[in-house]
Amino acid sequence: MQDAREQVPRVTLAQVADRAGVSLKTASRALGGEQYVSHETLTKVLAAANALGYRRNAAASLLASGHLVESIGLIAGDFTNPFYSALAQSVEDDIRQQGMHLSVATSWESAEQERRIVDDLASRQTKALVVVSAMSDHADYAQVQARGVPVVFVDRPAVNLDADSVVFDNRMGGRLAAQHLLDLGHTRIAFVGDYAWLPTYRERLEGMAAVLDGATSSWRELLRDDAHDVASSRARTRELLALPDPPTAIVAGNNRILLGVLEELSATGPDDAPAVIGIDEPEWARVMGITTVAGDVEAVGHHAARLAVSRLGDRTRPVEHVVLPMRLTPRRSTARHGSDSAPLRAE
């Protein structure tokens, strides 16, 4: 026999809206936790929902009890990369002061996975999204914005979409690395980079080209890309070291690539280890004496949090694009050829 409770017609959102004297859209916003609903309207909608016995979703139930914890979602490529964990910590530190918490997810650099995560977070009433995107075109994010969810792009800018962003000046980073090595007398300079489609890779490459194209003809034959993890980075480094005329210096495109380069140099122990520069600054780079070109990851997180919270408060504010500088920190790994301080030679 069917349970009698299942025979009772379910109260609809339209009935709640009608009893509260508001539109269906306003009722939905009120029960969904939107910040743009006045206190008076919210009170009327919640009273109508309670009187009718409307089955609210989890977020609306929390809202009615006064215990709604708002969240901002962070989507990144790979949280095994220390860059993203530092970014997450910085964002969380800021939004916690606003009474919000951070939800994190990884796309594993898959556009399809990113779309699924975005849909899931938006459906869970996530208030805003901070995204390190794996997509080459972000026009579809306009639908997310239309649902009242602000989107802030970090590390990689939005394409075909008006949205706030926080990025590093990656061309500056490429120029700094190339000029430092050129000033030290290097001409055979290799670049081991991430996926070739990434804007960060392309911009860093453009920065290096601006310095090296007029100074040496050999560097472009030493370009290696698609080194997204430690294993592939080691493979690219091994290939470079096996050349008849190997590079005298290697620029590692991010901190995971840097780790792969150093592991390969340590394992093979070349008689004349190349100089090494890492783009990004893992903590262990200071201990090992690795020259780095990096920006302030914490500043990226602070700006992203500020933009997300500000957009929640004012949807009409002008779109803001923040470009943060990168800086070179010279250490032993780019000491001049023959220096006793070079740290990379295997014992």
- Assigned CATH for 70-168+296-325: 3.40.50.2300
Which residues of the chain does CATH 3.40.50.2300 include?
A: 70-168+296-325, 170-295+329-334
Question: What class, spelled out in words, does domain 4-65 have in CATH?
Answer: mainly alpha
Q: Give per-residue pLDDT as tens, 225-276.
A: 999 999 999 999 999 999 999 999 999 999 999 999 999 999 877 678 899 9
Looking only at the bridges linking them, the beta strands covering 100-106 and 70-76 are: parallel
The answer to whether 292 and 331 are in contact (CB under 8 A) is yes
Which residues of the chain does CATH 1.10.260.40 include?
A: 4-65
Specify the pLDDT at position 29: 72
Question: Among all chains, which residue has been given the structure tokens 């690395």?
Answer: 177
* 298-324 mean pLDDT: 92
Q: What is the pTM of this model?
A: 0.76
Flag whether pLDDT at 59 surpasses 90. no
Flag whether pLDDT at 3 surpasses 60. no
> What's the CATH superfamily of 170-295+329-334?
Response regulator (3.40.50.2300)
Specify the pLDDT at position 93: 94
Angle at 35 between CA 111 and CA 74, to 5 degrees: 25
Q: Which helix H or strand E contains 168, and what residues bound it?
A: strand 164-168
Kindly report the number of other CB atoms within 10 A of residue 8's CB atom.
9
DSSP label of 223: E
Q: Give per-residue pLDDT as tens, 77-114.
A: 888 888 999 999 999 999 988 888 999 999 999 999 99
Specify the pLDDT at position 75: 96
* 145-158 mean pLDDT: 92
Q: Give per-residue pLDDT as tens, 105-145.
A: 999 999 999 999 999 998 887 899 999 999 999 999 998 98
The two structure tokens encoding residue 310? 């500000």
The answer to whether 131 and 173 are in contact (CB under 8 A) is no
How far, in Å, CA of 50 to CA of 16, rounded?
A: 9
Which has more confidence, 246 or 341?
246
Specify the pLDDT at position 346: 33
